[in-house]
Amino acid sequence: MRIEEKESMVVSVRPEDSDLVSILLDDGTALTVAVHIVSDYHLYSGKRLSAEDRARLQEHAAFSKIWKSALRYLRYQMRTVFQTQRYLQEKGYPEEQIQQVLKVLQDRKFLDDRRYASMYAEQHQSQQSRAYIMMKLKQRGIQSGVLDTVCSDWDEEAAAKLLVEKYLRKKSKDHSQDLKRKLIQYLQRKGFSYDIAKRVAFLDNDWDEPII
């Protein structure tokens, strides 16, 4: 004897915000789904749902939960795909649904690793070397191809000179060899090679006395 699958009934359809809607079912289950799901499934108060439709709505609700969590994570600052994936994994969400959310986030430009890398490099190029910035971006999951594009026209020497100017503003007009050594070491700590550090480490305002 075949047992009929129990139907569910929609009790109410209420918006949560501009993107999400709460669906209350007659057994007390509340499902939060994207706004377009209401029209896709023709949902309204009193609508009867088959067990199959209910299962699909539950899948949409699971997606929406992860989506909402991702948007909260992205609300206050840009993130990379890798950072967002790791955050969602730490929340314990299923990997398959995480990948679905990440794809939509990228399609809708909420996640854009190339833009992230460009902005990060622009913000930090006056403070750190190309090698150091590339290392930090790799740690954030930026792929090598993106890094090569973003940093292809990087002027290491110009970036080092900016740091030298900032460093010397905080120092006295001491032209001692000790200050020269400290300046080179400072640039190396920022990720610059010894050759570049030595070449740009000038002590006078006209930048015409290189360290030898």
Instruction: Say if 172 falls within a structural domain.
Output: yes
Instruction: Say if 2 falls within a structural domain.
Output: no
Last residue of a domain, one of 47, 78, 107: 107
Instruction: Say if 25 falls within a structural domain.
Output: yes
State whether 121 and 93 are in the same domain.
no
Instruction: Say if 207 falls within a structural domain.
Output: no
Pairing mode, if any, of strands 20-25 and 30-34? antiparallel
State whether 166 and 88 are in the same domain.
no
The domain of 33 spans 8-107
Instruction: Say if 38 falls within a structural domain.
Output: yes
State whether 103 and 127 are in the same domain.
no
State whether 171 and 146 are in the same domain.
no
State whether 48 and 127 are in the same domain.
no
What pLDDT score does 159 carry?
73
State whether 20 and 76 are in the same domain.
yes
For residue 15, report the phi and psi dihedrals to the nearest 5 degrees: -70, 140
Burial 122-160 (b: 16+ CB within 10 A, else e): eeebeebbbeebbeebeebbbbeebbeebbeebebeebb
Instruction: Say if 35 falls within a structural domain.
Output: yes
pTM recorded for the entire structure = 0.70
Separation CA 31–CA 37 (nearest Å): 11
Instruction: Say if 83 falls within a structural domain.
Output: yes
Number of domains comprising the chain: 3
What pLDDT score does 186 carry?
80
What pLDDT score does 198 carry?
76
Instruction: Say if 208 falls within a structural domain.
Output: no
The whole-number mean pLDDT for each consecutive block of 10 residues of the chain, a chain of 212 residues, reads: 67 89 92 90 92 92 92 94 97 93 94 93 78 88 86 70 73 64 80 76 48 40
